[in-house]
Structure 1
Amino acid sequence: MAAAKKTKTARGRKQDRARVAGKQDYEVRYESKKTGKSATAVKRAVKKVGNVRKSVEKRLTRKK
């Protein structure tokens, strides 16, 4: 019996891009480089506003 082949749909990838995984170093580094903030600031933003990428970026780019 052959194993079922799993395919990734475009929907799954799009939903994955809309989130920031605060525990994944490569995602934290990407956001850090993109916004010019530290990795610690990115992790704090994820903890404060959740893992929706738009919210995290808005939080990191706001002026104080």
Structure 2
Amino acid sequence: MNKKSFVFLIGMFLLVFMLAISTIWYLYDFKIQENRLYYESKLLELEKEIESIRTSDK
């Protein structure tokens, strides 16, 4: 195996590795955003419920 093909193989391996890492990172970030939106909506519901309890107490 000559030097050019060895460098080419290393380059291709690094390219595929970086692509895999960026894909995993993207999916992980998407999941975090999804969870954040879910919990923000739950928090908004609780805030509305607390506000309705406060107004009914007065």
Given the two structures, how large is their TM-score scaled by the length of structure 2?
0.31
Tell me which protein shows more helix as a share of its residues: 2
Higher relative contact order (CA 8 A, sep 6+): 1
Rg larger in structure: 2
